[in-house]
Amino acid sequence: MEIIDAIILGIIQGLTEFLPVSSSGHLELGKAILGDDSIPEESLLFTVVLHFATALSTIVVFRKDILDLIKGMLKFKWNEDLQFVSKIIVSMIPAVLVGVFFEKELEQLFGGNILLVGCMLIITAILLFLADKAKDTNKKVSFKNAFIIGISQAIAMLPGISRSGATISTSVLLGNDKTKAARFSFLMVVPLIFGKIAKDVMSGDLTYESQNFTSLSIGFIAAFIAGLFACTWMIALVKKSKLSYFAIYCIVVGAIAIVFSLLNS
């Protein structure tokens, strides 16, 4: 993979992991546009590295929240911190089940399925439009809400459905505070990302060649820096109810992807 391609894909991953426009969908579109001809194992390793970078950027942005949660848990009391962590665990259940039982089926949906990406981006746009019109509240995420948000996260495993867009929109439509919804959405994905990385590493499917080190490193740095910017920016946008702008973007990109796919079918 060329250095410039690694930078572009790293920026795409870093921005779209947090902005509600689907990181997986944009990576598929990016690879199609750039003509990425990496063998599956090399492509998987690069994707894993980019996801690790964005997970790390989440930890940096929410470092104070994470430290407070850890301190609260160490008190071994059923306090607000332990309850929050428990809700995150509950939210992980749907995605874990889908990942375990439908992994092969999901993998078949990736690899240049531009038509699917386009259609799913349109669905993401609809969710964002609905969420942007929701009234702001002070309500916290409940355990029931956490599971429902987890279902939306599992659905967002489809390329083109934005994970942050789906989870934040679902949370807001359930009547939760927008800032709390964004915080929960970003923190709930960290354990899943690290779990997926650990699974991929232990599976033995990853291959590494020394000549790929530079591309992997550059991609990691690009994704990490872009992730720091996008995560901070997204929190501010959710507070100001600016999701409709991303909805318009998803409609435009989705429509272009659909037309591109049909013209090349």
Q: Over the stretch 144-173, which tens digit does the pLDDT of each residue have? A: 999 999 999 999 888 888 888 899 999 999
Higher pLDDT, 199 or 143: 143
Residue from 143, 165, 126 nearest 91 by CA: 143
How would residue 40 be classed by pLDDT, with cut points 50, 70 and 90? very low
Higher pLDDT, 112 or 60: 60
Helix (H, G, I), strand (E, B) or coil at 132: helix
User: b or e along 130-155 (b: 16 or more beta carbons within 10 Å of the residue's beta carbon)?
Assistant: bbbebeeeeeebeeebbebbbbbbbb
Amino acid letter, residue 178: K
Q: What angle do CA 14, 109, 222 make, to 5 degrees?
A: 15
Q: Residues 129-133: what's their mean pLDDT?
A: 85
Range(s) of the domain holding residue 79: 3-263
Residues 6+ apart with CB under 8 A from 104: none
Percent of the chain's residues with pLDDT above 70: 88
Q: How far apart are CA 11 and CA 50, in angstroms?
A: 9
Q: How many CA atoms lie within 13 A of 1 on its CB side?
A: 35
pLDDT above 80 for 232 = yes
Residue 208 has a pLDDT of 57
pTM here is: 0.82
Is 66 exposed, middle or buried, given 0-12, 13-18 or 19+ CB atoms closer than 10 A? middle
Q: How far apart are CA 264 and CA 30, in angstroms?
A: 16
Residue 13 has a pLDDT of 80
Amino acid letter, residue 140: K
Query: How many separate domains does the chain show?
Result: 1
How would residue 43 be classed by pLDDT, with cut points 50, 70 and 90? low
Q: Residues 11-39: what's their mean pLDDT?
A: 71
Average pLDDT along the chain: 83
Residue 233 has a pLDDT of 87
Q: How far apart are CA 20 and CA 32, in angstroms?
A: 21
56's tokens: 């790390």
160's tokens: 């083109």
